[in-house]
């Protein structure tokens, strides 16, 4: 199977690409940075709809189609709404929500042909917001709504799964002020473990769908 993965250069995206490869499937990576060179990839800024669409089409044509799409790319801009520069705040929404929509839209012709699957990556903060995370929560609440709407819109044509992960041990928290970094008591998940839940959803036969998956550390403070 050909599985396109956004954000595949690091974090959950990279862990998913590695898990897909172990299954004997073909990972196709889209990221603003160069990923592991063993993966077929295209660099693109998902905040730019044209770049996102071009990347999807290029990888799909190169691979001869798509069987699945995993939208794992995501960024954040921590701080109170009044303190985060407007451009930074809006970029979070462009990458996390609008970029997800752009990738899926471009992939649909290929996925409808194969009765493939879409797995979007929201967050526990897309269900329960926290202070100083308005951009991230707004974008992830949007991903939740988008995915649930697509599950209705595409039923019988393309499988749709909403992944809602809690905190993971990735570079996502690098470079933040200490107040926005999880403490040692957080017990974050290994992204490789979360990636296995993505593989589980992708393995399901056409017509059998995992609609939603919440995967978080047992000590997750943003769930429930």
CA angle 190, 192, 195 (to 5 degrees): 120
Burial of 15 (0-12, 13-18, 19+ CB in 10 A): buried
Q: How is residue 5 written in tokens?
A: 């993965």
136 labelled catalytic: yes
Tokens of 170: 């990735």
25, 89, 110, 136: the active-site residue: 136
Q: What six digits make up the tokens of 1?
A: 């199977």
| Catalytic residue annotation | 136
């Amino acid at each position: 199977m050909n599985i396109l993965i956004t954000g595949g250069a690091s974090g959950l995206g990279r862990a998913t690409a590695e898990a897909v490869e172990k299954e004997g499937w073909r990972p196709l990576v889209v990221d603003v940075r160069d990923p592991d060179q063993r993966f077929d990839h295209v660099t693109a800024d998902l905040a730019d709809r044209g770049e996102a669409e071009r990347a999807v089409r290029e990888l799909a044509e190169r691979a001869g189609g798509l069987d699945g799409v995993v939208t794992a790319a995501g960024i954040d801009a921590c701080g109170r709404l009044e303190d985060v520069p407007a451009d930074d705040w809006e970029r979070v929404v462009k990458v996390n929500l609008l970029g997800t929509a752009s990738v899926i839209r471009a992939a649909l012709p290929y996925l409808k042909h194969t009765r493939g699957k879409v797995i979007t990556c929201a967050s526990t903060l897309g269900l329960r917001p926290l202070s100083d995370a308005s951009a991230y929560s707004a974008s992830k609440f949007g991903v939740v709504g988008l995915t649930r709407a697509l599950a209705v819109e595409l039923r019988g044509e393309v499988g749709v799964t909403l992944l809602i992960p809690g905190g993971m041990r990735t570079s996502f928290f690098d470079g933040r002020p200490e107040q926005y970094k999880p403490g040692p008591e957080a017990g974050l998940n290994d992204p490789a473990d979360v990636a296995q839940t993505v593989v589980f959803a992708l393995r399901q036969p056409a017509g059998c769908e995992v609609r939603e998956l919440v995967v978080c550390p047992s000590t997750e403070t943003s769930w429930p």
